[in-house]
Amino acid sequence: MYIVRKVRNKDCYKVKNVETGQVMAECASRQKAYAQVRLLEQIDEEKKQPVKIHTSSDEQLETKDETKKIIEKKKDSK
């Protein structure tokens, strides 16, 4: 979840991740700040969606974050 706040005494906005406190944009226009929030939320949503991976034994459903780990394990085992 992201939040947009106006920067004091400036004509710009700050985009911040509510959960981690990480600042994603220091000084952006209002339109660009809200566009960035939409983009960041889409990226977060894509990370949560499962991806089909074909393995040598069977099909597994894993998230995109875990996909690299599975591929690396398979390369190491060969």
Q: What is the pLDDT of residues 9-60, one digit of tens each?
A: 999 999 999 999 999 999 999 999 999 999 999 998 888 877 666 655 544 5
pLDDT of residue 46: 84
C-alpha radius of gyration, the chain, whole number: 19
Cβ–Cβ under 8 Å, residues 24 and 15: yes
pTM of the predicted model as reported, rounded to 2 decimal places: 0.61
pLDDT at 72 over 50: yes
pLDDT of residue 23: 95
pLDDT of residue 50: 73
